[in-house]
Amino acid sequence: MSGHSKWSTIKRKKGALDAKRGKIFSRLAKEISIAARAGGGNPEMNPRLRTVLNAARAQNMPKDNIERAIQKGTGELPGTTYEELRYEGYGPGGVALIVDLITDNKNRSVAELRHVLSKNGGSMAENGAVTWNFDQKGSITVPRNGLSDEELFEKAIECGAEDVDTDNDEVCVITTAASDLHVVSQALEEAGLIAEEAKLTMLPKTTVQVSGKDAAAVLRLMEALEDDDDVQDVFSNFDISDEEMASLVES
């Protein structure tokens, strides 16, 4: 397990998901608004909106927040116009980074991203410098609900998944073709597995092993990027041994 999957595991073990609930709601609201603006406010006719609404409900996002985000996206309420941006970079130890932003001020966001990277041993890269080493996939996180690895795998494959990661005791991460994300998410919902998170992800084709100071520095950079209000997601190809990861999580 590496990069984005490993980082998700680290965040869960550190309890960062609960500690940053407000930030999760903010990011979901942006995604809801963009989905509603692009495909309308009816989730039955807008697969992207339906998928993110399932994730929002799984995170116990208040209904009023969800409705306001939809109405801002459709123009029924005044609101900020967001744009989606993607930047590439490098982190400590030469790891590759892809950073997705949702922002209402591109210049501010880029300046802040440069600052965070520079302060934490990273740097910006040119367009295409690292994306060649990643495949775009769908990623769906669902609670295990007491199901065994075999039951989860069987349900996911029946719903059209490509792969299933059952390493976590609380959730499993289901990988799909990028084009199948919304279809598989809906099929899983109908099978009783409601997504905590469903989104497009970037999975590395090759990884970079980091250890010692580089490993600690990479995790500091990842945390700093995630703390940026405009950063929606971060993907990387770093790999850290399970032993070292355990000590870093505890520290």
Query: Tens digits of per-residue pLDDT, 22-55?
Result: 788 888 999 999 999 999 999 999 999 998 998 8
3-state DSSP call for residue 68?
Answer: helix
Beta strand residue intervals within 91-133, DSSP E: 96-103, 123-125
Q: Are 134 and 235 spatial neighbours (Cβ–Cβ below 8 Å)?
A: yes
Intrachain domains 83-132+207-240 and 133-204 with the same fold: yes
Return the DSSP state at 160: T
Domain boundaries, the chain: 8-74, 83-132+207-240, 133-204
CB-based contact 220:190 (threshold 8 Å): no
Q: In this structure, what token pair is assigned to residue 221?
A: 């950079």
> pLDDT band at 20, cuts 50/70/90?
low
Structure tokens at 118: 């520079």
Q: Say which residue, 190 or 14, is predicted with more confidence.
A: 190
Q: What are phi and psi of 70, to 5 degrees?
A: -65, -45
Summary mean pLDDT of the chain:
88
Task: Read off the pLDDT of residues 142-185 as tens digits, 9 standing for 90 and up.
Answer: 988 888 999 999 999 999 999 998 887 888 899 999 999 989 99
Q: Of the ranges 193-197, 222-226, 234-238, which one carries the lowest mean pLDDT score? A: 193-197
Looking at domain 8-74, its CATH class is: mainly alpha
Please state, in angstroms and rounded to a whole number, the distance separating the CA atoms of residues 174 and 135: 15
Sheet harboring 123-125: ordered strands across?
123-125, 83-90, 96-103, 231-236
pLDDT, position 103: 92
At residue 203's C-alpha, the angle toward residues 168 and 119, to 5°, is: 95
Phi first, then psi: give them for residue 179, nearest 5 degrees: -70, -15
What's the pLDDT at 245?
75
Helix (H) or strand (E) holding 241: none
Look at residues 194, 177, 185 and name the one whose alpha carbon lies nearest to residue 142. Answer: 194
CATH for 83-132+207-240, options being 3.40.50.10900, 3.40.50.740, 3.30.300.30, 3.30.70.980: 3.30.70.980
Q: What is the pLDDT of residues 62-121, one digit of tens each?
A: 999 999 999 999 999 887 888 999 999 999 999 999 999 999 999 999 999 999 999 999
143 and 150 Cβ atoms separated by less than 8 Å? no
Confidence label for 3 from pLDDT (cuts 50, 70 and 90)? very low
In the predicted model, what is the mean pLDDT of residues 233-240?
Answer: 92
Cα–Cα distance for residue pair 138/160, rounded to 1 Å = 11
Banded pLDDT at 2 (limits 50, 70, 90): very low
Contacts of 190 (CB under 8 A, 6+ apart): none
CATH second-level architecture of 133-204?
A: 2-Layer Sandwich (3.30)
The residue ranking higher by pLDDT, 31 or 242, is 31
